[in-house]
Amino acid sequence: MGTAHRALPVALLVVMLAVQPYARAEIIIVDSHKSDESIGLAQAISRHCTRCGQIQYMDMKRSPQIGREIIAELKAREANKQLDLVITLGRQATTVVTGDLKKTPIFHTLHPQALPLSGSSRHVQEFAITPSLAMQLDAFKALAPQMKRVGFLARRSTIEPFRDEIIASATANSLSVNFYYVDHLDDISPGLRQAIRETDGLLFLRDSLVINSDTIQFILRLTLENRVPTFAYSPALVDMGMTATLSLSTENLAQKIAAAVDAVLTDTPPSLDAHPESSFVLEVNERSFKGALGAVRERIPGMRVVFR
């Protein structure tokens, strides 16, 4: 790396690979803000991408200034034909990179926040690092096939961006949907009690008003006492007692990205399924599952199930 790059004020993680004789792909991962999930994905790609030289990870730290410096570096590499593929994680990184790189293939993840990307250019493709609401509902229904009514308890501002997707996915699964809107902490108890009476399962969106250190134990106690299955947005909540969640299988996703890199190196248009089911694992709290639904289902078609 040159002097200019060493001067770049960016937290840079270089994942070294055992370089094969034919390896030549120059890949950079640009993250909006570093997380364990991001680092885990970078490391998994390095294990599976046998045709990569070294994978460099750049952290924007949510800083526009660092973002400008990163894009200047990427544009220089692109001009010098020293860049084969860019992977962006998060809205900020994707906005910066896709706005300036016009030739290098870019894989980006944005879900659940959509972003128009200059007419869906062919060199820019989406992949999922978090499961869509449709995928979560499919998994929930597969886990609890007797469920007829699913409930969502959250602020209106949390639900509205996904309302159409939720309704369409629920209809496809022969489910009716009830929305329970809360505005204040005091709304959570009556809203949750009503949801428990009127639904067969609750899917929780990420909403800091509804699920936080002050409310989680109350929610867990009431849902477990009433044997209502719950679908969470985080494995940490499953560890605490919620029934299930979909989590990223970094190994599976890394294998797909490695295959796309092979395509780039052979001048074949690379592709990724936007939201591939095989990139996710259905994690189930066995005790909560037995308490709410009875016998544990060890096999669900199309999904890998892990009991915790």
* Cα separations in angstroms, 226 against 15, 141, 187: 48, 19, 19
* Cα separations in angstroms, 65 against 11, 60, 71, 101: 13, 9, 10, 17
Banded pLDDT at 296 (limits 50, 70, 90)? low
Q: Which residue, 90, 77, 129, 126, is CA-closest to 106?
A: 126
Taking a C-beta distance cutoff of 8 angstroms, is the pair 101, 30 a contact? no
Angstrom distance (rounded) from CA 256 to CA 278: 10
Q: What is the pLDDT of residues 145-191, one digit of tens each?
A: 999 999 999 999 999 999 999 999 999 999 999 999 999 999 999 99
Evaluate if residue 47 carries a pLDDT over 90. no
Q: From its phi and psi, is residue 110 left (phi > 0), alpha (psi between -120 and 50) or beta?
A: alpha
Evaluate if residue 38 carries a pLDDT over 90. no
Give residue 284's pLDDT.
Answer: 95
Long-range CB pairs of 224-229, under 8 A, 24+ apart, other chains included: 224/288, 224/291, 224/292, 226/196, 227/291, 227/292, 227/293, 228/196, 228/199, 228/200, 228/201, 228/202, 228/292, 229/140, 229/143, 229/144, 229/147, 229/200, 229/201, 229/202, 229/288, 229/289, 229/292, 229/293
Q: Which residue, 71, 76, 92, is CA-closest to 10?
A: 71
Task: Report which secondary-structure segment, H or E, holds 27.
Answer: strand 25-31
Identity of the residue numbered 299: R
Evaluate if residue 298 carries a pLDDT over 70. no
Q: What is the pLDDT of residues 65-92, one digit of tens each?
A: 999 999 999 999 999 988 988 999 888 8
Q: What is the pLDDT of residues 217-246, one digit of tens each?
A: 999 999 999 999 999 999 999 999 999 999
Minimum mean pLDDT among 8-17, 68-77, 228-237, 295-304: which range? Answer: 8-17
Mean pLDDT score of the chain: 84
